[in-house]
Amino acid sequence: MAAHLMPTSAPARDHLDWPFFAESHRALAAELDAFIASGGLGEIDHGNADGACKKLVAALGQAGILRHCVPAAFGGASDMIDSRSLCLIRETLAYADGLADFAFAMQGLGTGAISLSGSDELKQAILPKIARGQLISAFALTEPEAGSDVAAMSTAARRDGDTYVLDGEKVFISNGGIADVYTVFARTGEALGTRGISAFVVYADTPGFSIAERIETIAPHPLARVRFDNCRIPASHLLGEPGEGFKIAMRTLDIFRPSVAAAALGFARRALDEAVAHAKSRKMFGATLADLPTAQSTLGEMATAIDAASLLTVRTAWRRDVQKLPITREAAMAKMTATENAQWVIDQALQLFGGRGVRVGEITERLYREIRALRIYEGATEVQKLIIGRELMKAAR
C-alpha cells in the first residue's frame, strides 16, 4: 500500500562529519543506506500494521541491524548498547518509513531492562533471539491512571513461594498483541510511591495474561491494552531486586530517549527533502515556488530547526557513549526539542505542498500523523520540561 512513499535517495549525511561520530558510525550509515536502497525493508503495508511489523522485525534481524539493540555477549554489535548507533539507525529508518523505525525501536526498548538488570539465564534465553528478529518484545509501564505519574501505578505483583502473581492492566502498550515477551512493571509494596515498584519478564503465552483491547491511533501501529489476571510467573523473572523497577525503567528510558529524538529528526529530514524537491518543481507566478523569498525563508528556518535539534541529540548520545556521564537532563532537552521542532518542520512542509499536502497517501500527510505521537510517548513534552527544571535545581543545590 505504501511502497510508493519510500525515499528515492538516502538522507543527507553531512552531520556525520561532526566530531561526535566515529568511523564505525559512518560505516553503519553506509550499510543502512545500502540495505534500504536494495529493498531490504520490503513492501510495507500500513493497512496491516501487525503483519508489517512482524515482517520488518524479521528483515531487520536477518540484516543484522537488530544486533545494535543488545550487548555483544548476547549476540549484539558492541559490548554496551551504543546510543549513537541507535540514533543513527532510528533516524535512517524513520526517514524511510515510520513502521520500520517502530519495529526497530521496540526491540530495544522492550528488552533494555533485561539487558540492564536481567539474570544471565534470562538474557541468554531472550536477547539473542531479539537480535535475530526471532522474538518480538514490548515495554509495559503505562496504565489507564498512571501515564506520566508512574507513582500512581496499581498493577500489583505478590510473592507466592517461588512465583509472583500479577494482577492489573497496562494500556497503550506498543507491540501489544504481537509481542512474544513483555517487560512489565508492577507494584510489589517495598515502600510508598515509586520505591515500591518492581520489573518482571512475562511471556505472552503465560496463563492469566491477555490482550484486553486493540487500540487504533492516528498513525497505525500495533498497540493494545493488556491484562494480568492471576498471572503467575517464576520468581526468576524478576529484573534486578524487588523495589528497583522504577530505577530500571528510568535507566532504560534514558538510554532510548535520545533515539526518540533521532526518529523525529528522520521524519523532519524527510519532510525538508520532500519540500525542497516540491519547491524546485512547482511552477508558480512565472517561476518556481523555490524562487519565492517566502519559500526560501521557510526552508531556511526548517533546516536550522533540524540542525539545532540534531546537535542536542548527538551531544546527548556522545555524552553517554564516550564520557560515560548521566544524560537525564540532556536526553530530555533533545527529546523535547527534536519532537517539537519536527512537528513544526513537517507542518511547514505540508503548508508548502498546499492542498496536495493533506491528501491521504501523500508523504506529508503520513509524516504529519507519524510525528504527533512522538511528542507524547516516552515522556510528553511537558514532562521533559519538568525533568530539565528539576535537574537544574539539583545542580544549583
Residue 350 C-alpha cell reads as 505540508
Q: How many CA atoms lie within 13 A of 207 on its CB side?
A: 3
Residue 84 C-alpha cell reads as 549513537
Residue 68 C-alpha cell reads as 545494535
Distance between the two ends of the chain, CA-based, in angstroms?
A: 55
Q: Determine contact, residues 238/248, Cβ cutoff 8 Å.
A: no
Provide the β-strand partners of residue 210: 227
Rg from Cα positions in the chain:
21
**Dihedral (C-alpha) 178, 57, 66, 226: value to the nearest 10 degrees?**
-10
Residue 160 C-alpha cell reads as 507466592
Phi-psi region of 212 (alpha: psi -120 to 50; beta: other; left: phi over 0): alpha
Residue 243 C-alpha cell reads as 523495589
Report CA-CA distances (Å) from 224 to 152, 203, 310, 391.
Answer: 20, 15, 32, 33
SS (H, E, C) 155-212: CEEEEECCEEEEEEEEEEEECCCCCCEEEEEEECCCCCHHHHEEEEEEECCCCCEEEE
The closest alpha carbon to 102, from 14, 24, 219, belongs to 219
Among residues 91, 378, 382, 391, which one is catalytic? Answer: 378
Phi-psi region of 208 (alpha: psi -120 to 50; beta: other; left: phi over 0): left
375-391 burial code (b ≥16 CB/10 A, e <16): beebbbbebbeebbeeb
Identify whether 378 is a catalytic site residue: yes
CB atoms within 10 A of CB 396: 6
Residue 220 C-alpha cell reads as 497505525
Residues annotated as catalytic are 378
